[in-house]
Amino acid sequence: MNLSLDAFFNFHAFYIISVSLISLAIYAFASFRIDRLRQKRLIGLKRKHLDAPVDTETPLDEPEKQQRKIGQESIETRFSFLQKFLPIVFGVAWLSVVIIPYLTRVPAIHVSLVIGSISVLIGIAARPFIENIISGLVISFAQPIRIGDTVLINDYYGVIEDIKLTHSVINIWDWRRLVIPNSQMLSKEIINYSLNDHHLWAWIEFHVSADSNLEEIEEVAKKVAKSCEHYLDVEEPSFWVMGLEKDSIRCWLASWTDGPTTAWAMRAHMRSELAKYFRQKNIQFNMYNINQGVTPPPSETRSEVSAKQNVPN
pLDDT digits (tens, 9 = 90+) for 234-245: 889 999 999 988
pLDDT tens, 189-235? Answer: 888 888 777 788 899 999 988 888 899 999 999 999 999 998 988 88
| Average pLDDT for the chain | 79
Q: Is the pLDDT of residue 303 over 70?
A: no
CA separation for the pair 98, 157 (Å, rounded): 51
Q: Which amino acid is at 62?
A: E
CA separation for the pair 202, 294 (Å, rounded): 7
Confidence of residue 293 (pLDDT cuts 50, 70, 90): very low
Query: How is residue 131 annotated by DSSP?
Result: H
More confident residue, 82 or 232: 232
Annotate the chain with DSSP letters as a single string.
-HHHHHHHHHHHHHHHHHHHHHHHHHHHHHHHHHHHHHHHHHHHHHHS----SS----SSSSHHHHHHHHHHHHHHHHHHHHHHHHHHHHHHHHHHHHTGGGGGGS-HHHHHHHHHHHHHHIIIIIHHHHHHHHHHHHHHHH-SS-TT-EEEETTEEEEEEEE-SSEEEEEETTS-EEEEEHHHHHHS--EETTSS---EEEEEEEEEETTS-HHHHHHHHHHHHHTSTT--TTS--EEEEEEE-SSEEEEEEEEEESSHHHHHHHHHHHHHHHHHHHHHTT--EEEEEEE------TTS-HHHHHHT--S--
Q: Is the pLDDT of residue 295 over 60?
A: no
By the 8 A CB rule, do 218 and 239 touch?
yes
Q: Which amino acid is at 38?
A: R
Domains and CATH numbers, the chain: 2-142 (no CATH), 200-307 (3.30.70.100)
pLDDT tens, 251-279? Answer: 999 999 988 888 888 999 999 999 998 88
Least confident range of 4-13, 76-85, 86-95: 4-13
